[in-house]
Structure formats: structure tokens, C-alpha cells
């Protein structure tokens, strides 16, 4: 086990479950607070004496061919577990643009892709609790609720359901291992086209019928780039030529450069905001054209740091038209902020009654997420800006909830009103961690917990 000491925070890098138990017992004995994360998420170190980083716990525990499932330790990233699965010709049913988080981080914040969430792939977890016990957590079945109840001496009993653990923000326990359901490996072929925002809204239902869909919306141009993917069997795939790949990387590099400098340039020269937006639109279309008619893996990874630069909200799919109209009107008066695109993804949530986390930002079977970096240069980790508060109010008025996977996210005394399942989540947390040892590494501030 590795240990780092910076200022007043001791950072531990455990190698296995035994190391985790030693850290927890030391913390309880000395009445120290703990934050635990999977090693990929930019965490807030304030308010604790011990920080646990699971980046050294990267073992493949087992593969079950009958159940078609894999079990991994919490420090492996999503891209790493996909590479392990591909050796057996399997993959995860999580597609589109995905921040390459570790397993522990992805479960704690409820990672959302362009077709669904990590909840639909997750089968069970082994979780280490403050008393040192290692308990299996799974989704509740219709007939075995009472059989799963776990009793804790002098503290009561609780149901070890993943509804508490997914979107649990790392305060219910430490995820030692996670078991994922897998599906046969396949490739995807993207179709890319542009249209107006009104046309996109009118054809919205068609987009939900694809393997996955996501869009780049440029409010200053009233244009949308739509990327929809269809499934391709391996024996029918067509590989991208090397020169097309080089061209794609070249155009993507130019787009990345313009995208990162655009907010600063627009701030000092607002009249160029629309022109910068047009340049990004053209570069994205050229980048996408290099991928047309070729087959790719259905997951496109982005760095967690880039993902956390922006904010991400989840809304009912039926409210997308109202949200787009409100944001369009808002952007007309604050065009200097809006030179970069908003990324819109569509999700379908299956078995939502049993697989809906208590603190999930989604409540409907069909949802959409909006990700934007309009406020990244103004508020990264500590303070809201007035314009950001106005923008988020538009989303909240349309039934939106902020996703835990991108920041800044703040704990709020109103969390109990925002999430109907908060009381159940809070009760389980209180039973498991009556001493309030665990603090969340994924939000600024602390959660308001009812007792």
C-alpha cells in the first residue's frame, strides 16, 4: 500500500481489500474523516484527513461464461474493462460519448452514456462498510426483498440494493469489486448530417430508434449536427483507411484548438462569437465526414478532466423542445458565452422501477442530457456565476436535474425535495455509517442528511 502526505491530508493507494480494512479501522480509531474515489475524478480534498485512491486496485477478478458477466476491481477504467471483455468477444451496452472514468467513480456518480446509464450494465457490487464487513449489493428482485435484508447489531437493518449505491456519491461504502453484464461484441456505423433545430425537434422520435444518437447544437447558428449509429456485425464491417484516420485527427485537432480558445476570444471580442461557432461547425462536419460509411467501436471516450470542465443536466425527452426554445432565447442576449456547441444525447432506461437509483437525475423511461462548457472558464470548482445560475434555472423549470458526473455540483439542503428517493438513501447511509466517517469526494460541500 502506498501512502502520500500533502498538507493535512493523507492519501492512501490500497492494493487490495485488506489494505482498505486497515485504513478504515485506523480512521475509526482516530475519529478521522474519509473520502474515497476511483482515481479518475477530480476530487475535492477539503474537510477530511484521509483520501483513498483506488487506482492500484486494477485486477480482473473473474469471468462467468454461463452468466456472461465479468467482475473487476474498482480502480479499472471503463476503457480498460472493455479491452478485457473484447478478449472474450464481449462488450458493455453503454455507447456514445463516455468519459473514461474508473469503475468506482462511474458507479458513484451514475455515469450516463448516449444510450443509457451504467446502471443497466451493472449486475452487483461488493462493498466495504465502516464496520469492516464486505457485503454483496444487487438490484432488488420482485420476490426476494426480505431475503436480501441485512441486520446490523444495535443499528437496525437495511436492504443492500444498488439503488442506494449507484449515484451514491461514495458515502455509502467503498466499492471493492463490481460485476457487469456483457453482450456479444459488435461495431457501429455512424450517419452524420446537419439540419435546423426545428427539423431536429420534428424528427426527434426517429432518433430514439437507433443504437445510439447524440447531437452538437450550435445556438448562434440555429444548426444541429446529428450523429446516429446503427449496429454492424463484425463480418460486415468496413475499416477506416489510414489516410482518412489522419484527416480525421487533423480536423479534430483544429476543432479542439478553436473550441478551447473560443470562450476567451468571444469574451474579449463578442462580435466574433458567431464566426467562431461557424468555424467549429465546419470543422466538426469535416471530422465526421471522415468516419462516414466505416465501422467503429460504439464507445467514444473523452477524458474525465474535459468532461468535468462542463456541466451536464438530464431532462425528460418530452421537454426538449421547450428547453431548446428557452436556451435559444437566453443565448440571443448572451451570445458572447455561446460560441461552443451544446452536446445533446438521448437515453432509454429499461426496468426503471427496479433499476432506478434513489439519487438518479432521471425519472422517465426516455430522457436526454445536455452538456455544455459555456461556464468552464468562469466557475470550475468553487463558485457559481450569475449567468450560470440563470442558465440552470431554465433547465430546472423544465424538469431538469443536474447530473453528478460533471461539475461543479454542490450539496444542497433542498436535495430531499429534488430527489424523492433521498429519504430511503439517507436512512441506509445513516444505518451503515452512523459515525459519518465517509464524506463525498464528488461534490462541493456536504450532503444534508436527515436523521
Element housing 37 (H / E): strand 34-37
Per-residue confidence (pLDDT) for residue 407, from 0 to 100: 67
Confidence of residue 3 (pLDDT cuts 50, 70, 90): low
Q: Pairing relation of β-strands 34-37 and 50-53? A: parallel
pLDDT digits (tens, 9 = 90+) for 303-314: 998 998 889 999
Would the pLDDT of 43 be above 70? Answer: yes
Residues counted in the chain: 451
Query: What mean pLDDT comes out for the span 159-178?
Result: 91
Query: What mean pLDDT comes out for the span 198-227?
Result: 89
Element housing 426 (H / E): helix 422-432
Per-residue confidence (pLDDT) for residue 256, from 0 to 100: 95
| 384 DSSP 8-state letter | -
Per-residue confidence (pLDDT) for residue 242, from 0 to 100: 94
For residues 336 and 319, what is the distance between their CA atoms, to the nearest angstrom?
26
Domains of the chain: 60-184 (3.30.465.10), 187-402 (3.40.462)
Contact call for residues 304 and 41 (beta carbons, < 8 A)? yes
Buried/exposed code over 11-29 (b: 16+ C-beta within 10 A; e: otherwise): ebbbeebebbbebbeebee
311 strand-pairing partners: 372
Q: Which of 165, 200, 195 is nearest to 179 (CA)?
A: 165
**Which DSSP string do the residues of 231-242 spell out, in sequence order?**
EE-GGG--PPPH
Would the pLDDT of 8 be above 90? Answer: no
Confidence of residue 7 (pLDDT cuts 50, 70, 90): low
- Residue with the larger pLDDT of the pair 43 and 86: 86
Percentage of residues of the chain with pLDDT beyond 70: 90
Element housing 270 (H / E): none
Is residue 421 packed enough to be buried (19+ CB in 10 Å), middle (13-18) or exposed (0-12)? middle
Name the H helices within 197-294: 197-202, 204-207, 242-268, 273-289
Would the pLDDT of 379 be above 60? Answer: no
How large is the greatest C-alpha to C-alpha distance in the chain, in angstroms?
67
Query: What mean pLDDT comes out for the span 260-271?
Result: 90
Per-residue confidence (pLDDT) for residue 382, from 0 to 100: 43
Per-residue confidence (pLDDT) for residue 1, from 0 to 100: 65
Would the pLDDT of 26 be above 60? Answer: yes
For residues 229 and 397, what is the distance between their CA atoms, to the nearest angstrom?
31
Query: What mean pLDDT comes out for the span 314-339?
Result: 92
Segment of 86-95, 225-234, 347-356 carrying the highest mean pLDDT? 86-95
Q: Which of 29-33, 143-147, 328-332, 362-366 has the lowest mean pLDDT?
A: 143-147
Query: What mean pLDDT comes out for the span 392-397?
Result: 90
Query: What mean pLDDT comes out for the span 107-126?
Result: 93
Confidence of residue 148 (pLDDT cuts 50, 70, 90): low
Cell numbers for 198, please give them.
Answer: 426545428
Percentage of residues of the chain with pLDDT beyond 90: 53
Residue 267's SS3 state is helix
Per-residue confidence (pLDDT) for residue 254, from 0 to 100: 97
Label each residue of 293-309 as H, E or C. CCEECCEEEECHHHHHH
State the sign of the Cα–Cα–Cα–Cα dihedral 10, 15, 16, 22: negative
- Give all strands (DSSP E) within 79-206, no chain letters: 90-91, 96-99, 122-128, 134-138, 150-152, 156-158, 174-181, 183-184, 187-196
**Which DSSP string do the residues of 41-100 spell out, in sequence order?**
S----TT-SEEEE-TT---EEEEETTTTEEEEETT-BHHHHHHHHHTTTEE-S--EEEE-
Q: Which of 156-170, 210-224, 383-397, 407-421 has the lowest mean pLDDT?
A: 407-421
Would the pLDDT of 424 be above 90? Answer: no
Query: What mean pLDDT comes out for the span 224-237?
Result: 86
Q: What is the average pLDDT score of the chain?
A: 87
| 39 DSSP 8-state letter | S
Buried/exposed code over 374-386 (b: 16+ C-beta within 10 A; e: otherwise): bbbeebeeeeeee
Q: Which of 198-202, 299-303, 404-408 has the lowest mean pLDDT?
A: 404-408
Query: What mean pLDDT comes out for the span 48-71?
Result: 93
Per-residue confidence (pLDDT) for residue 427, from 0 to 100: 87
Q: Is the peptide bond before 422 cis (omega within 30 degrees of 0)?
A: no
Q: Which of 118-127, 137-146, 281-290 has the lowest mean pLDDT?
A: 137-146
Per-residue confidence (pLDDT) for residue 430, from 0 to 100: 86
For residues 368 and 449, what is the distance between their CA atoms, to the nearest angstrom?
29
Cell numbers for 114, please give them.
Answer: 448516449
- Residue with the larger pLDDT of the pair 365 and 414: 365
For residues 313 and 291, what is the distance between their CA atoms, to the nearest angstrom?
28
Q: Which of 2-11, 23-32, 189-198 has the lowest mean pLDDT?
A: 2-11
Would the pLDDT of 235 be above 50? Answer: yes
Would the pLDDT of 146 be above 50? Answer: no
Per-residue confidence (pLDDT) for residue 383, from 0 to 100: 47
Compute CA distances 293 → 54, 190, 191, 334, 416, whole Å.
40, 7, 8, 38, 48
Confidence of residue 451 (pLDDT cuts 50, 70, 90): very low
Per-residue confidence (pLDDT) for residue 350, from 0 to 100: 82
Confidence of residue 288 (pLDDT cuts 50, 70, 90): very high
Would the pLDDT of 210 be above 80? Answer: yes
| 165 DSSP 8-state letter | H
Amino acid at each position: 500500500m502506498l501512502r502520500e502526505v500533502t498538507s493535512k491530508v493523507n492519501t492512501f493507494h490500497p492494493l487490495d481489500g485488506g489494505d482498505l480494512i486497515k485504513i478504515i479501522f485506523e480512521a475509526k480509531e482516530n475519529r478521522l474523516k474519509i473520502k474515497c474515489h476511483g482515481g479518475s475524478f477530480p476530487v475535492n480534498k477539503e474537510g477530511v484527513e484521509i483520501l483513498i485512491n483506488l487506482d492500484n486496485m486494477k485486477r480482473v477478478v473473474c469471468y462467468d461464461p454461463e452468466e456472461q458477466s465479468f467482475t473487476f476491481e474498482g480502480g479499472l477504467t471503463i476503457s480498460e474493462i472493455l479491452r478485457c471483455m473484447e478478449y472474450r468477444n464481449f462488450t458493455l451496452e453503454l455507447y456514445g460519448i463516455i468519459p473514461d472514468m474508473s469503475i468506482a467513480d462511474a458507479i458513484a456518480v451514475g455515469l450516463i452514456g448516449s444510450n443509457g446509464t451504467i446502471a443497466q450494465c451493472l449486475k452487483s457490487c461488493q462493498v466495504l462498510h465502516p464496520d469492516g464487513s464486505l457485503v454483496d449489493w444487487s438490484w432488488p428482485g420482485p420476490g426476494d426483498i426480505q431475503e436480501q435484508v441485512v441486520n446490523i447489531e444495535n443499528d437496525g437493518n437495511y436492504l443492500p440494493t444498488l439503488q442506494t449505491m449507484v449515484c451514491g456519491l461514495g458515502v455509502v461504502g467503498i466499492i471493492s469489486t463490481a460485476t457487469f453484464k456483457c453482450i456479444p461484441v459488435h461495431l457501429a456505423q455512424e450517419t452524420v448530417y446537419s439540419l435546423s433545430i426545428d427539423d431536429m425537434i420534428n424528427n426527434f422520435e426517429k432518433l430514439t430508434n437507433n443504437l445510439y444518437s447524440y447531437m452538437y447544437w450550435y445556438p448562434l447558428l440555429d444548426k444541429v449536427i446529428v450523429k446516429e449509429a446503427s449496429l454492424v456485425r463484425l463480418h460486415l464491417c468496413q475499416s477506416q483507411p489510414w489516410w482518412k484516420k489522419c484527416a480525421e485527427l487533423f480536423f479534430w485537432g483544429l476543432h479542439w484548438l478553436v473550441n478551447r480558445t473560443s470562450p476567451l476570444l468571444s469574451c474579449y471580442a463578442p462580435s466574433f462569437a458567431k464566426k467562431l461557432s461557424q468555424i467549429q461547425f465546419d470543422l466538426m462536419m469535416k471530422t465526421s465526414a471522415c468516419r462516414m460509411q466505416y465501422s467503429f467501436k460504439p464507445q467514444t471516450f473523452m477524458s474525465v478532466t474535459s468532461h468535468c470542465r462542463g456541466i451536464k443536466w438530464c431532462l425528460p425527452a418530452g421537454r426538449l423542445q421547450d428547453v431548446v426554445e428557452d436556451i435559444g432565447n437566453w443565448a440571443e442576449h448572451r451570445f458572447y458565452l455561446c460560441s461552443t456547441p451544446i452536446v445533446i444525447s438521448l437515453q432509454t432506461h429499461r426496468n426503471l422501477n427496479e433499476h432506478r437509483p434513489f439519487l438518479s437525475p432521471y425519472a422517465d423511461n426516455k430522457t436526454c442530457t445536455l452538456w455544455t462548457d459555456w461556464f468552464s472558464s468562469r466557475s470550475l470548482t468553487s463558485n457559481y456565476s450569475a449567468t450560470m445560475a440563470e442558465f440552470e434555472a431554465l433547465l430546472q423549470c423544465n424538469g431538469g436535474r443536474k447530473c453528478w458526473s460533471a461539475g461543479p455540483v454542490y450539496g444542497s439542503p433542498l436535495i430531499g425535495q429534488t430527489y424523492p428517493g433521498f429519504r430511503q438513501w439517507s436512512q441506509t447511509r445513516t444505518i451503515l455509517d452512523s459515525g459519518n466517517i465517509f464524506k463525498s469526494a464528488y461534490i462541493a460541500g456536504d450532503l444534508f442528511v436527515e436523521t
